[in-house]
Chain A
Amino acid sequence: MTHFVRRRITGLTLVVVLSLLLTAATRLMEDNLLRPRTWLGWVLVVIVLFLASYRLRKQLAMLPLGASAAWLQCHIYVGLLSAPVFLLHTGARWPGGGIEVVTAVLFLTVFCTGILGLFLTRMIPPRLTDRGEEVIRERIPVFIRILREEAEASVAGAKNAAPSEVLSDVYLNHLHSFFQRPKNFVSHVFHSTKPRTALLNALDDTRRFLNTQHEQTMEQLAACVRRKDDLDYQYAMQSLLKYWLFLHVPLTWGLVVFTCSHVVTAMAFTSR
C-alpha cells in the first residue's frame, strides 16, 4: 500500500469515526435535555474559520507555517467533516430566517465547489500529462499565434508553387476562426473530440482534388490542427483547474461573513 493510499484511508476513517462520535454525543446531549445545536454551531464556526485560514497560509509563503500539502490534507478532511456537523447543527432541516438561509446556501455551495475542486484536481492533471506538450497556460496564446502563422504560410504555398484554391477555401471557411484563439472549451471539458474530427474530415475530403504537393500541404495543415486542438485541450483543462477556485474562494469569504452575522444574531436571540 502506498503512502498516499494509506493517508487517504486514515483520513476517511477519522472523518467517519468523528462523525459517529459527534452524532452519539448529540443524541446523548439531547437525551439529557442539553442544547447540542449551540455547541455544534460553535464547532462549525471553528471549522469554517480553519478552512478559510488555508488561504492565509498560501499568502504567507515566507513563514514556516508547515507544508501547504499538509494544510490541504487537513482542509479536505475537516471540510468533509463539516458536512455531518452542519447536518447535526441544523437537524437536517432547512433553516428559517434570511441570514440563516443565506448562510446555509453559502455553506452548501462552498462544500459542493470544494468537492468539485477535489474531483477536478485529481482527475485533470494525468489527462493533461497524457495529451499534447506541457505548456504554461499564459503562454498558450503565443503558441496559437505561431501555429496560425505556420498554417497560413503552408496555405499560401511554397515559393515557386501556386497555392491550392481548395485548401484556401477550407482554410477560410473552417480553419481561419479555429486558429484565432482557444476554441471548443465545452467539448474539451466533456472530452469530446467531435470538433477535431470534423475539421480533420473537412481537410481529408479535399484530398481527391489535390495534387501530390498540395496533398503534402494538406497533411501539414492537419498536423497544425492536431497541435492546435491539443493546445485548446490544455487551455480548457487548465482554465477549469483555475476557474473553480474563482467560485470556491469568494464564496468562502461570503460564508465567513454570514457565519459571523449568524453567530451575532443567534447570540442576541438566545440572550433575550
Chain B
Amino acid sequence: MSQASVNQSSMDRPRRWDMPFSQEAGHDSVLTDADIDSLLANDAFSRIDPAGFKRSVPLREILRNDVRIVDFEQGDVIVRQGDWGSSAFFVLSGAVRVELDRGDDASSDLIQGRQKKPRKTFFRSLAQLWQNNHHAEFRNPDAKQSVSGNLRSVGGVTRVYISDVSAVIEQHKTARMDAGHWFGELAALGRTPRVATVFADETSTLLEIRWQGLRDILRFDRDQGLKKYIEDVFRERAMASLLRTERLFADISDQEMADLMPHCRLETFGEYDTAKPFRELSGENAGSVKNEPLIAEQGDYPNAVFLIRSGVARLSQKHHAGRHTVGYLNPGRVFGLREVLQGFRSGRSTGYEARLSAIGYLNAVVIPASIVEDLLRSGAISDPEDSCRPAVHATHDAVDENLLNFLVDGKYVQGTETMVIDMDRCTRCDDCVRACATTHDNNPRFIRHGPVSVRHMVANACMHCLDPVCMIECPTGAIHRETLGGLVLINDQTCIGCAQCASNCPFDAIRMVETRNASGAILVDSKNAPILEATKCDLCHDQPGGPACQRACPHDALERIDLQSLSELEGVIAR
C-alpha cells in the first residue's frame, strides 16, 4: 500500500454493489452479459417483468451483482441445518438432496460440523484440575485432523463434503430436488436458521442469490410470481405456527387459519447487508432513530397488525422536537393489535401509539386490520379483555429511559445471555475472569470491559444473540446453535480459523487465538503460519454448575440476562 493511499483523507463512498456477490471472498467468477441473458431466459426469472424495477436497481444489475453461479461436486454440503441464512439457491442443473431427518444423529452432526459435548459430571469437573494442560489453548492436533478429512477447498472456499453419499441416503430420510427448484429462500429473507441440510446429489450447478437481491426482485416484480411462490411456501411451512404464537390466533380452527393466511403478507424492512452495516449501525450511527427504516408511524390510522418474525424493532414516541425510545419488540411480539382492538371496541379509531422502526433489519408478517376486525365480528377470535400484550413498554422505574436507549442503540437487546455488570457492586477482583479461564483452556472467553451506562456495563462477552450474524459465512458450520434458538457454540474440531465469525460479530465477542500443543509450543501449519481458532463464551454449557463467571462473582455484580423482555433486567436492578 503506498504511503499516499494510507494518508489520503477522503475516498469514494462505499456503495451497495462495489463488490459483486460473484467476487466475494473465495469466488472470482464474473457474470457476463451472456450469462445474464441465459439467466433471464431461465424459468427462475423469465416471467419477471423488468419494467417494474427502479432505474437505480434494474433487474439486470441485480442479477449481475447479487447473484453467483456455483458448481458443486457430488456430496458437497450446500447448506446445513441450523446455519443462519443470508442467501437463497436455485438449482440450474444437476440435483440436490434435502436431509429430512431432524434427529440427534451423530453422522449428521459430523456433516454439519457440530459437536455435542455432554455436561461434565462432578468428578470429571474436578479432574480438570490435574487433567487439563497447563498451557493456554492446548489442542490435540489428531482430533482436528480426523474431521478436516471431510473438508475440501474449492477456489478460496472451504467446503464440507460427504464422502459416502449412498450411505447417507440409505441411513437418512432424504428428498431429491431436481433442476428448477428454489431452496433456502425463507431462511434468507427471514434471517432465520436453515431448517434442513442440503447436499449435492450429483455434480450440480446452482444459482445463489443474496437476500438483498431477492428482496428487490420480490419488491419490484410486477408479475409477483416469485413473491407468490415464496409466500405460498411460507404459508405452507411456517405461517400458521407463527400466527399461532400470538395468543389471539392460538385457538382458531384450521379452516379459519386457512382463510386468514391468504390475506397476510410477509415483508422485510431495512437495509441489513450482512454484518458490516450492522457493525456500523452499532457504532457511529447508534442512537439515530431518524436513520431507521420506518414501519408504522405514530398517530397513523392502524390499518395493519405486525407480527415480528425476525429482527428487532424500536418503539419511539414524539417528544418535543425529537423522539424518545419507549421500548423494543423482538420476534414473536406484535405491534398494532392493541390499537386495532381499541378501535373495534369503541367504534372510533385511534392512531398507532408509537412509531415502529426497524433496528437494521426486520422480517414481519403483516395482517390487515380489516381481517382482524372481520374475525372478531364473526366470533372466530374473541377480544381479550386485557388487550393482548402491550405494544409499548412503560419505561419502568428500574429501567429508566437512559438505560433503555443505551440497550436499544447499542443493539444489546439482541442478547439472550447478555453479560451485565453492576459497576457499583463490582470490586474489579477478576474472580469472574479467573473462573472463566479455569473452565476454558486457561484463557478467559470474555473481557471484563465494555460500554457503561451510568452504572451498568455490558461486558465484552458473547450475548448469544437472537440473530447471530457471526454464524453467516462460516464455511464449516463450526459456529452453530446448540438447538434452534439456543446457545451459539463453536466446535473447535471443525473450526478452520478463517476468522469470518470474528469479523462479523458486531460486538467483537469472538477472539482468534493461537493454539498450542501439549508442550506449549504454538501449533503451525506447513508454511509456519500459526493455527488459529475462534473462541468465545459458550455459557459453560458443559460445566455442571452453569456459567462459571456468574457463579464466581462474590458481590452479585455480574449477571447473564435475557434481554428479550425487560423483566429480568428490572428484577436485577431492583434487588
Q: B52 in the interface, Cβ–Cβ < 8 Å?
A: no
Name the contact of A241 in the complex, choosing from B428, B457, B552 (C-beta under 8 A).
B428
Q: B482 in the interface, Cβ–Cβ < 8 Å?
A: no
Contact with A along B543-575 (1 / 0, CB 8 A): 111101011111111000000000000000011
Q: B1 in the interface, Cβ–Cβ < 8 Å?
A: no
Q: Evaluate contact between B429 and A242: CB separation under 8 angstroms.
A: yes
Q: Evaluate contact between B544 and A64: CB separation under 8 angstroms.
A: yes
Q: Evaluate contact between B427 and A125: CB separation under 8 angstroms.
A: yes
Contact with B along A51-87 (1 / 0, CB 8 A): 0000000101111111111011000000000000000
Minimum CB distance partner of A241 in chain B? B427
Q: B147 in the interface, Cβ–Cβ < 8 Å?
A: no
Q: Evaluate contact between A134 and B457: CB separation under 8 angstroms.
A: yes
Complex CA gap A69/B550 in Å reads 9
Q: A124 in the interface, Cβ–Cβ < 8 Å?
A: yes
Q: Nearest chain A CB to B161's CB is how many angstroms away?
A: 37
Complex CA gap A71/B551 in Å reads 10
Residues of B within 8 A of A58 (CB): 431, 434, 552
Residues of A within 8 A of B426 (CB): 125
Contact with A along B88-131 (1 / 0, CB 8 A): 00000000000000000000000000000000001001101100
Given the known A-B contacts A134-B452, A136-B448, are A64 and B427 also in contact in the complex, defined by CB atoms under 8 Å? no
Q: A10 in the interface, Cβ–Cβ < 8 Å?
A: no
Q: Evaluate contact between B554 and A72: CB separation under 8 angstroms.
A: yes
Given the known A-B contacts A63-B125, A137-B428, are A68 and B551 also in contact in the complex, defined by CB atoms under 8 Å? yes
Q: B22 in the interface, Cβ–Cβ < 8 Å?
A: no
Q: B377 in the interface, Cβ–Cβ < 8 Å?
A: no
Complex CA gap A199/B427 in Å reads 30
Residues of B within 8 A of A129 (CB): 423-424, 452, 454-455
Q: Nearest chain A CB to B83's CB is how many angstroms away?
A: 31
Q: Evaluate contact between B548 and A62: CB separation under 8 angstroms.
A: yes
A124-141 interface with B by 8 A CB criterion = 124-126, 128-129, 134, 136-137
Interface size (B, Cβ < 8 Å)? 38
Name the contact of A62 in the complex, choosing from B455, B543, B575 (C-beta under 8 A).
B543
Complex CA gap A61/B552 in Å reads 7
Minimum CB distance partner of A68 in chain B? B554
Which of A3, A62, A124, A126 has the most CB atoms of chain B within a 10 A radius of its CB?
Answer: A62
Contact with B along A1-26 (1 / 0, CB 8 A): 01110000000000000000000000
Complex CA gap A67/B551 in Å reads 4
Which of B427, B429, B435 has the most CB atoms of chain A within a 10 A radius of its CB?
Answer: B427
Q: Evaluate contact between B556 and A69: CB separation under 8 angstroms.
A: yes
Minimum CB distance partner of B557 in chain A? A125
Q: Evaluate contact between B428 and A62: CB separation under 8 angstroms.
A: no
Q: A238 in the interface, Cβ–Cβ < 8 Å?
A: yes
Q: B438 in the interface, Cβ–Cβ < 8 Å?
A: yes
Name the contact of A63 in the complex, choosing from B452, B545, B554 (C-beta under 8 A).
B545
Name the contact of B554 in the complex, choosing from A4, A69, A125, A242 (C-beta under 8 A).
A69
Complex CA gap A17/B129 in Å reads 41
Q: Nearest chain B CB to A23's CB is how many angstroms away?
A: 31
Q: A121 in the interface, Cβ–Cβ < 8 Å?
A: yes
Contact with B along A134-156 (1 / 0, CB 8 A): 10110000000000000000000
Interface size (A, Cβ < 8 Å)? 28
Contact with A along B235-278 (1 / 0, CB 8 A): 00000000000000000000000000000000000000000000
Q: B439 in the interface, Cβ–Cβ < 8 Å?
A: yes
Residues of A within 8 A of B122 (CB): 63-64
Contact with A along B40-56 (1 / 0, CB 8 A): 00000000000000000
Residues of B within 8 A of A61 (CB): 431, 434-435, 438-439, 548, 551-552
The binding surface of chain A is classed by DSSP as helix
Q: Evaluate contact between A121 and B544: CB separation under 8 angstroms.
A: no
Q: Evaluate contact between A71 and B423: CB separation under 8 angstroms.
A: no
Residues of A within 8 A of B129 (CB): 60, 62
Q: Evaluate contact between B552 and A125: CB separation under 8 angstroms.
A: no
Complex CA gap A3/B398 in Å reads 14
Residues of B within 8 A of A128 (CB): 423, 428
Residues of A within 8 A of B439 (CB): 61-62
Residues of A within 8 A of B435 (CB): 61-62
Complex CA gap A69/B548 in Å reads 12
Complex CA gap A32/B126 in Å reads 48
Minimum CB distance partner of A237 in chain B? B428
Q: B219 in the interface, Cβ–Cβ < 8 Å?
A: no
Complex CA gap A65/B551 in Å reads 9
Residues of B within 8 A of A65 (CB): 545
Name the contact of A68 in the complex, choosing from B125, B126, B552, B574 (C-beta under 8 A).
B552
Minimum CB distance partner of B120 in chain A? A62
Q: Evaluate contact between B423 and A134: CB separation under 8 angstroms.
A: yes
Name the contact of B545 in the complex, choosing from A2, A64, A137, A241 (C-beta under 8 A).
A64
Minimum CB distance partner of B423 in chain A? A129
Complex CA gap A124/B424 in Å reads 8
Q: Evaluate contact between A62 and B438: CB separation under 8 angstroms.
A: yes
Residues of B within 8 A of A63 (CB): 122, 125-126, 544-545
Complex CA gap A114/B161 in Å reads 61
Residues of A within 8 A of B434 (CB): 58, 61
Residues of A within 8 A of B128 (CB): 62
Complex CA gap A65/B435 in Å reads 13
Residues of B within 8 A of A136 (CB): 428, 448-449
Residues of A within 8 A of B429 (CB): 241-242
B414-441 interface with A by 8 A CB criterion = 423-429, 431, 434-435, 438-439
Complex CA gap A60/B552 in Å reads 10
Given the known A-B contacts A62-B438, A62-B548, are A3 and B424 also in contact in the complex, defined by CB atoms under 8 Å? no
- Pairs across A and B, CB under 8 Å, 6 listed: A61-B434, A64-B544, A71-B554, A125-B426, A125-B555, A129-B424
Query: Which 6 residue pairs are nearest across A and B when measured between Cβ atoms?
Result: A64-B545, A61-B435, A72-B554, A129-B423, A3-B575, A126-B424
A-B contact sample (7 more), CB < 8 A, given A3-B575, A128-B423, A241-B427: A61-B552, A62-B439, A63-B544, A68-B554, A69-B553, A71-B554, A125-B427
Residues of chain B whose beta carbon lies under 8 Å from any beta carbon of chain A: 122, 125-126, 128-129, 423-429, 431, 434-435, 438-439, 448-449, 452, 454-455, 457, 543-546, 548, 550-557, 574-575
